[in-house]
Structure 1
Amino acid sequence: MTRSGISQPDDTVTYDPEADAYYAEHDWDRNASLSVTLVAALAEVSDSDPTDMDPLDSYVDPDALDDLFRPHPGIRRANVGRLELAVAGYRVTVYPDGEIVVRP
């Protein structure tokens, strides 16, 4: 369940018309990085092929994004804070639990 209260299966983006926002969830147990999940979510929201989009590093350092919220073995994750940025005309918020919110 996301902050929006909407349940979603893996690898999907869900739209909430009341919030006018799209929600995606990064799976920390998979091999893909948070930045890859963000690009996939943006591609789905914009109905674009990721290779046709501006590179993510035009907006944020992907390695820094990945490191910011990456879980570390033996260290309890603090689910506080968030990263907000503008990407390709969208307002994006990334939370430490892996939730990604994209607003037009």
Structure 2
Amino acid sequence: MTNDSNTENSTTYQTTCNPEEESVSEELISAVAALNDAEPAELAVLSNFIDPEALDALFGPRSSGIPRTTDGQVQFKYDSYTVQVETDGTITLHEPESATSEN
């Protein structure tokens, strides 16, 4: 995971996964756990913010196994982060400065 930028208002972290072979929701949980030096079970429940199965289905291969060929992204709030997931498996986490200074 990389710390891409640190602006006056937020800190941005980025990681990637292969949505055709990996679960986007599991990679997201792993990334947030690493950022917070916590176990995944200690984090807020992802399904309170977004449906993890729908997130995985949106970026994973079609039920026929054929990879998706469209470009897209979804953005949502997860705990103190604004999360953006892109078709290529890029997961970007924006953390407001106020949350960064509390950690």
1:14 aligned to 2:2? yes
Which of residues 15, 40, 56 is equivalent to 1:50? 40
Q: State the distance in 2 between where 1:34 and 1:59 align.
A: 14
Tell me: higher relative CO, structure 1 or 2? Use CA pairs within 8 A at least 6 residues apart.
Answer: 2
Q: How many Å apart are 1:76 and its aligned residue?
A: 4.8
Q: How many Å apart are 1:53 and its aligned residue?
A: 0.6
CA-atom RMSD in angstroms: 1.8
Task: Name the counterpart of 1:77.
Answer: 69
Greater percentage in strand: 2
Count the aligned residue pairs: 90
Q: Which runs of 5+ in 1 are unaligned?
A: 1-12
Checking the alignment, whether the CA contact within 8 Å between 2:33 and 2:39 is kept in structure 1 is yes
What TM-score do you get using the length of structure 1 for normalisation? Answer: 0.76
Checking the alignment, whether the CA contact within 8 Å between 2:15 and 2:92 is kept in structure 1 is yes
Check 1:69–1:29 CA distance in 2 against 1; reply closer, same or farther (3 A cut).
Answer: closer
Q: State the distance in 2 between where 1:83 and 1:23 align.
A: 15
Larger Rg: 2
Q: Which runs of 5+ in 2 are unaligned?
A: 96-103
Check 1:98–1:84 CA distance in 2 against 1; reply closer, same or farther (3 A cut).
Answer: same
Paired-residue identity, %: 30
